[in-house]
Each structure stands twice: as structure tokens, then as C-alpha cells.
């Protein structure tokens, strides 16, 4: 057996400090969105799919660029339609020039 090199120390199992077991705990305060607003949302008389969509928007869980980047699913959050700004909920529904053009054309 070659003994020129000392044995390597074991690799840490998790090298990302944010994902260490001590940082994985999540409390109700860490969840995005107003709890009161979410409670009112579920009491609305509207189709369940609309409630679920709005809940996902309040919880920052819609698959828009900014949320996907935050979850390390995509490397950039740039809007894939206009390539001008970060794709957020408000950008894609209210500010994106491409989305505005589509809305105008559909009326």
C-alpha cells in the first residue's frame, strides 16, 4: 500500500451551508404571503382552481422565472418573451410588453 500521502479527511456530506439540517427547519413565519389573506382566499365563493392559482401566487410558487431561480431550477429569471426584465408575477401579468400585446390583440 502506498503511504506517501496522508489519508484524505472525509468529505462533508452536505457542502451547501443553507441546506444543512440545522437550517432546514421552516416555521409558519417563513412561508411567503399573508396568512390572513390566504385564509380569506379559501372562504371566497369562486372555483377551486382559481383559489389554488391565487394561493400559489400569494405563496410565490407559480413557475415564473424569479421563483424558479430562487429554487435553483433555472439559472436566470429573465422573461423569455420580452428579454427585458426579470419574470415575476407582476411582470408576466401586468408589465410584460409581449403579454400586453397579446391581451390587446385578443379583445
Per CB under 5 A, residues contacting Zn ion are: 79, 81-82, 96
3-state secondary structure of 78: strand
Rounded CA separation 63/50 (Å): 16
Q: How far is the CB of 80 from Zn ion (least distance, A)?
A: 8
Q: How far is the CB of 81 from Zn ion (least distance, A)?
A: 5
Nearer to Zn ion, 51 or 81 (CB): 81
Q: How far is the CB of 98 from Zn ion (least distance, A)?
A: 5
Nearer to Zn ion, 57 or 82 (CB): 82
Nearer to Zn ion, 38 or 81 (CB): 81
Q: Would you mind telling me the total number of residues written for the chain in this entry?
A: 107
What is the distance in angstroms between the CA of the first residue and the CA of the last residue of the chain? 78
93 closest CA partner among 74, 72, 79: 79
Amino acid at each position: 500500500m502506498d503511504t506517501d500521502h496522508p489519508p484524505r479527511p472525509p468529505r462533508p456530506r452536505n457542502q451547501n451551508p443553507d441546506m444543512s439540517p440545522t437550517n432546514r427547519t421552516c416555521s409558519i413565519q417563513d412561508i411567503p404571503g399573508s396568512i390572513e389573506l390566504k385564509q380569506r382566499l379559501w372562504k371566497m365563493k369562486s372555483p377551486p382552481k382559481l383559489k389554488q392559482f391565487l394561493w400559489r401566487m400569494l405563496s410565490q410558487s407559480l413557475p415564473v422565472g424569479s421563483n424558479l431561480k430562487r429554487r435553483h431550477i433555472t439559472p436566470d429569471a429573465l422573461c423569455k418573451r420580452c428579454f427585458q426584465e426579470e419574470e415575476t408575477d407582476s411582470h408576466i401579468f401586468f408589465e410584460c410588453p409581449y403579454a400586453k400585446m397579446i391581451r390587446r390583440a385578443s379583445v
